[in-house]
Structure 1
Amino acid sequence: MNGAHALINTLVDEGVEVCFANPGTSEMHFVAALDGVPRMRAVLALFEGVATGAADGYARMTGGPAAVLLHLGPGLGNGLANLHNARRAHVPMVVIVGDHATYHKKYDAPLESDIDALAGSVSGWVHRASRTEDVAAYTTAAIAASRSGHISTLILPADVSWTEGVQADVPAMAVITPPTVTDEEMQLAANAFRSGEPTVLMIGGDATRGDGLAAAARIAAATGATLLCETFPTRLERGAGVPAVERLAYFAEAAQAQLAGARHLILVGAPSPVSFFAYPGKPSDLVPPGCAAQAVAGPFGATDALIALAEELAPGTGAPVASLSRPAIPNGPLTAFSAADVIGALLPENAIIVDEANTSGATLPAATAGAPAHDLLTLTGGAIGFGLPTAVGAAVAAPQRPVLCLQSDGSAMYTISALWTQARENLDITTVIYNNGAYDVLRIELQRVGAQSADAPGPKARDLLDLGRPAIDFSKIAEGMGVPARRVSTVEDFAAALTEAFAASGPHLIEAVIPSLLG
């Protein structure tokens, strides 16, 4: 058995049965070995950032690792943005990066690079297989490390991949494990909730689903604490029948308003709140003055900590849940606000929403709060180009569930080739691209950072944030990649297009032409 066969067989034996791939010459023996392992599903992406983003979406929905196959350092580099998002989401992933043959590296061929350094910037586990005999054991170790919420990167030189060898045992490698919650931390948190002082409970990590949400809602109901979750949760369950939780706002001023007056901030699975960027004369740390912030648990173990706290603080208290309530469908020209109401009115049951709508999606949480129960996947690391690939992975992971991808026009162009993979795999994804012809969020930030007055930006500044010269026709792009598409600009047409897309199988794209929020 050569190294490639050993790697793939070990992956499937350990339950990793999907590999998102963009291979090159160094990975051809891996590609050839796929036909000998029927259990492994290989999904081709035309750009490495699509492969890594798809693996992120898959891991968020299954809770287990997907494999990613990339070509040398440049291929890994192309996938780094969505690996950054995945690292911030604490999802399990095994990244296999092909490298030059061991004896070829000394010649400094054009694609030679420092793969180890690149991988180390996003990975919690990085190893290089230098012998065929070690491949299976290294693969097992990579999978184990990933299951503790880390990206594992296994570097596979071409000659190790093609060489036959007997697999050997390798000494067990240390796996990063999450810290345990101490009794002292739990007691300090319980005392804060009992203090009678204004307290905020902020949740994140594995606590934004099922039992974690219920326990957090019970604590808030029993103690009067304000319940929030991190701004960009990895996977948030919400909608009718689910305990409702408000997300911490993205803009620092709004987040400060949510936290104002708090004397205690209890962090269970969520990081301490900070401003996403620095702004002149404004604080980076958003914990209010005089407020004591206490971390009880990290992203893993947050649910268990909340359940224990709920049993102590809220015995017999039920978790309040959102009732079914949909907005009415408005009429007239389509805007970001009216589009959100249409989505809230028409969202199918058990949907998965992948949200990279940025400024155009600001009113979506309110519009869908009472829609049928659904999952929300958000942009955890802030690296754009997340939405389209993550929808691919979510649809592969949950083929029985409808996926709605909400995408802004500027960020869509980063990974637009994901549409081709959607068509190739016949995935049940409805993509809505909000086309306002501008980097709207950056136009807002131009004012917020104080670079220049928003009401009088210069012509070069305006031009650099404008996407309308020339205008991008997403409908034609989608159709060219095999995805049926419609372009709409009225509420009525958007509602009709969304209804038809939800009723049909396979991928669909709706280009929603809306005005800029800034006029």
Structure 2
Amino acid sequence: MKGSESVLSTAAAAGMRVCFANPGTTEMALVEAFDATTGIRPVLALAEGVVTGAADGYTRMAGVPALTLLHLGPGFANGIANLHNARRGRTPLVNLIGEHASWHQAADAPLASDIDSLAAPVSGWVGRTTSAARAAEEFAAARQAALRDRMPATLICAADHMWSDGGVEAAVPEPPAPPAVAPERIEEVAKLLAGAARPALLLGGDALDGEGLRTAARIAAAVGAEVFAERSPARLERGPDIPAVRSVPYFPEDVLDALDGFSDLVLVGTGTPVAFFGYQGLPSFPVPDGTAVHPLADKGDDVRGALRALAEAAGAAATAPTAPPRPGPTAPSGALNASAVAAAIALTQPDGAIVVNEGVSSGGAYPAAATGAPAHTELTLTGGAIGSGMPMATGAAIACPDRAVIGFQADGSAAYTAQALWTQAREELDVTTVICANQRYRILEAELRRAGVDEPGPGATSMTRLAGPVLDWTAIARGFGVPGVRVSTGEELLDALRRAHADPGPHLIEAVL
């Protein structure tokens, strides 16, 4: 058995089923090993940002790590932005990076680089193979580290360790259990909530699944609290039987307004709210001066267990309070804006859909529209590095082939990783991408106004506009093998969405705003 075969067979034995790849010469032994190993599905992407973003989306939805296969330092560097998002979202995927043969590394060949330094900022664990005989054991250590740290782990695989004989499949350890929150902390927070004037719970991570939201609603009803969700969660569940939750706003002054008047803020699987950027006169941590912050469970803890224990300590009822039916949004008509696009998506999405929201400025309208939508999962941009939406939708569709996937997608960020459409077409994935085509970086226009630039000149304007030439998304989609249609009214968008959902497979709808 070659070292490459031992790595992939160990991955298969660990329950890993998909490898998103853009390989090169140093990965040829691993490419060959896919034919010698059953159970691992290789999925080719045309760009490394699609590889890493798809692995992120797959892992969020499948609950088991995806593999990536990347070519040396430059190939890995092309995928770093979406690995940044994966690290921020605490996604435990595993990167395999091909490296020059061990005896060739000292030659400083043209593609040689310091891969370890590139990988460290976006990985919780970085390691290197030492031989064909130990490669599988070293892979098992990478997988275990990813699961333990809830972050990407990176194994740098020397080409000769992969092509050489002597590989041995490694034993696969049980996934590590997340640390339990100390009973003393549970009791302390329960007492705090019982005596708080006006408490709030801020949920993140695993607390935003159906169980976590129902448990938080029980606690809130028992102690008179309100429940918030962190901004840009990795995964958020919604549905008629799941309590609705407010999201923390984007701009820091809006966060201060949302939290104004709360005496205490209990953190469950998330951190203290932090401003995306530093703004003059506004705090980095936008929490009102009169609001005390109390951690219950850290991001890597057993968050669900902590919520269950807190509900018991707080004397919460056994079931979440029944909420009145939530009506869906009004059907949009006439010219399109962000709210109209969000309403159309919510009104037409199939039951059990996965909505990948990278609308950037436009995507903020979706949560309000979605409160009355059928049961669904929303994935968002966790780390702020744009270009993740279309790849994440690709990975989510492979993880959940029985669920429709909808991409609520800004045009500017879609241009970063439009190659994802090719993989969607090749794999025949049921992904409907709705491009909000406003032909500008609207979030940058908002930031210019916040910086006091109300009338930007031609130089600044050229940095925020995508016109001249206008991106033709229907042509781009067709070029990658995906049928595309352009719409400009609410009626046209509703019709296009219904037709796309009736015809499983990839579709793109360019919604002109």
Query: Deviation digits for residues 213-243 of structure 1, max 9, x if unmatched?
Result: 1110111111111110110111100131111
Corresponding residue for residue 309 of structure 2: 308
Corresponding residue for residue 124 of structure 2: 124
Corresponding residue for residue 68 of structure 2: 68
Contact map agreement 1:211 1:307 (CA 8 A) in 2: no
Contact map agreement 1:63 1:91 (CA 8 A) in 2: no
Contact map agreement 1:54 1:393 (CA 8 A) in 2: yes
Q: Is 1:486 matched with 2:485?
A: yes
In structure 2, which of residues 353, 356, 364 is the aligned counterpart of residue 354 of structure 1? 356
Contact map agreement 2:26 2:159 (CA 8 A) in 1: yes
Give me the whole-angstrom Cα distance separating, in 2, the residues matched to 1:353 and 1:248.
19
Structure 1 residues 368 and 194, CA gap change in structure 2 (3 angstroms): same
Q: What pairs with 1:496-511 in structure 2 (closer than 5 Å)?
A: 496-511=495-510
Q: What pairs with 1:132-147 in structure 2 (closer than 5 Å)?
A: 132-147=132-147
Alpha-carbon offset, residue 314 of structure 1: 3.6
Give me the whole-angstrom Cα distance separating, in 2, the residues matched to 1:229 and 1:202.
6
Q: Which amino acid aligns with 1:485?
A: G
Corresponding residue for residue 393 of structure 2: 391
Alpha-carbon offset, residue 168 of structure 1: 8.6
Q: Which amino acid aligns with 1:367?
A: A
What percentage of aligned pairs have identical amino acids? 49
Give me the whole-angstrom Cα distance separating, in 2, the residues matched to 1:403 and 1:279.
36
Q: What pairs with 1:83-482 in structure 2 (closer than 5 Å)?
A: 83-148=83-148, 149-167=150-168, 179-299=179-299, 300-316=301-317, 318-320=319-321, 323-448=325-450, 450=451, 452-454=452-454, 456-482=455-481
Contact map agreement 1:22 1:48 (CA 8 A) in 2: yes
Give me the whole-angstrom Cα distance separating, in 1, the residues matched to 2:17 and 2:285.
42
Q: Which amino acid aligns with 1:34?
A: F
Structure 1 residues 447 and 207, CA gap change in structure 2 (3 angstroms): same
Structure 1 residues 363 and 157, CA gap change in structure 2 (3 angstroms): same
Contact map agreement 1:259 1:287 (CA 8 A) in 2: yes
Give me the whole-angstrom Cα distance separating, in 1, the residues matched to 2:340 and 2:315.
39
TM-score (norm 1): 0.95
Name structure 2 gaps, 5 residues minimum.
none
Q: Is 1:28 matched with 2:33?
A: no
Q: Which amino acid aligns with 1:136?
A: A
Give me the whole-angstrom Cα distance separating, in 1, the residues matched to 2:298 and 2:111.
39
Alpha-carbon offset, residue 38 of structure 1: 2.9
Give me the whole-angstrom Cα distance separating, in 1, the residues matched to 2:322 and 2:407.
25
Contact map agreement 2:219 2:316 (CA 8 A) in 1: no
SS of residue matched to 1:164: coil
Contact map agreement 1:204 1:233 (CA 8 A) in 2: yes
Q: Which amino acid aligns with 1:301?
A: D
Alpha-carbon offset, residue 75 of structure 1: 0.8
Q: Which amino acid aligns with 1:106?
A: A
Structure 1 residues 100 and 166, CA gap change in structure 2 (3 angstroms): closer
Alpha-carbon offset, residue 321 of structure 1: 5.3
Give me the whole-angstrom Cα distance separating, in 1, the residues matched to 2:186 and 2:38.
48
Alpha-carbon offset, residue 274 of structure 1: 1.2
Structure 1 residues 230 and 349, CA gap change in structure 2 (3 angstroms): same
Alpha-carbon offset, residue 335 of structure 1: 1.5
Give me the whole-angstrom Cα distance separating, in 1, the residues matched to 2:69 and 2:184.
44
Alpha-carbon offset, residue 179 of structure 1: 4.7
SS of residue matched to 1:332: coil
Contact map agreement 1:218 1:314 (CA 8 A) in 2: no
Of stretches 219-228 and 307-316 in structure 1, the one that deviates more from structure 2 is: 307-316
Structure 1 residues 278 and 165, CA gap change in structure 2 (3 angstroms): same
Alpha-carbon offset, residue 492 of structure 1: 0.9
Q: Which amino acid aligns with 1:447?
A: R
Q: Which amino acid aligns with 2:461?
A: R
Contact map agreement 1:145 1:176 (CA 8 A) in 2: no
Name structure 1 gaps, 5 residues minimum.
515-519
Alpha-carbon offset, residue 126 of structure 1: 1.1
SS of residue matched to 1:358: coil
Give me the whole-angstrom Cα distance separating, in 1, the residues matched to 2:13 and 2:187.
43
Alpha-carbon offset, residue 178 of structure 1: 5.1
Give me the whole-angstrom Cα distance separating, in 2, the residues matched to 1:61 and 1:161.
30
Alpha-carbon offset, residue 150 of structure 1: 2.0
SS of residue matched to 2:309: helix
Structure 1 residues 222 and 315, CA gap change in structure 2 (3 angstroms): closer
Give me the whole-angstrom Cα distance separating, in 2, the residues matched to 1:202 and 1:474.
38
Query: Deviation digits for residues 276-304 of structure 1, max 9, x if unmatched?
Result: 10011111111211322111112231111
Give me the whole-angstrom Cα distance separating, in 2, the residues matched to 1:432 and 1:315.
41
Calculate the aligned-residue CA RMSD, in Å.
Answer: 1.8
Q: Which amino acid aligns with 1:140?
A: A
SS of residue matched to 2:122: coil
Alpha-carbon offset, residue 398 of structure 1: 0.2
Give me the whole-angstrom Cα distance separating, in 1, the residues matched to 2:193 and 2:404.
39
Q: Which amino acid aligns with 1:432?
A: V
Contact map agreement 1:229 1:270 (CA 8 A) in 2: no
Contact map agreement 1:222 1:317 (CA 8 A) in 2: no
Alpha-carbon offset, residue 275 of structure 1: 0.8
Of stretches 184-193 and 19-28 in structure 1, the one that deviates more from structure 2 is: 184-193
TM-score (norm 2): 0.96
Q: Which amino acid aligns with 1:403?
A: V
Q: Which amino acid aligns with 2:257?
A: A
Q: What pairs with 1:5-44 in structure 2 (closer than 5 Å)?
A: 5-44=5-44
Contact map agreement 1:129 1:135 (CA 8 A) in 2: yes
Give me the whole-angstrom Cα distance separating, in 2, the residues matched to 1:359 and 1:265.
27
Give me the whole-angstrom Cα distance separating, in 2, the residues matched to 1:133 and 1:123.
25
Corresponding residue for residue 517 of structure 1: none
Structure 1 residues 166 and 27, CA gap change in structure 2 (3 angstroms): closer
Q: Which amino acid aligns with 1:62?
A: A
Give me the whole-angstrom Cα distance separating, in 1, the residues matched to 2:431 and 2:332.
24
Structure 1 residues 321 and 128, CA gap change in structure 2 (3 angstroms): farther
Of stretches 323-332 and 188-197 in structure 1, the one that deviates more from structure 2 is: 323-332
Of stretches 401-410 and 261-270 in structure 1, the one that deviates more from structure 2 is: 261-270
Contact map agreement 1:200 1:228 (CA 8 A) in 2: yes
Alpha-carbon offset, residue 252 of structure 1: 1.1
Alpha-carbon offset, residue 320 of structure 1: 3.3
Contact map agreement 1:193 1:199 (CA 8 A) in 2: yes
Alpha-carbon offset, residue 334 of structure 1: 1.5
Query: Deviation digits for residues 450-507 of structure 1, max 9, x if unmatched?
Result: 2x432x1111111111101110000000011100110000111111100000111110
Q: Which amino acid aligns with 1:510?
A: I
Contact map agreement 1:66 1:93 (CA 8 A) in 2: yes
Give me the whole-angstrom Cα distance separating, in 2, the residues matched to 1:428 and 1:324.
28
SS of residue matched to 1:287: coil
Alpha-carbon offset, residue 211 of structure 1: 1.4
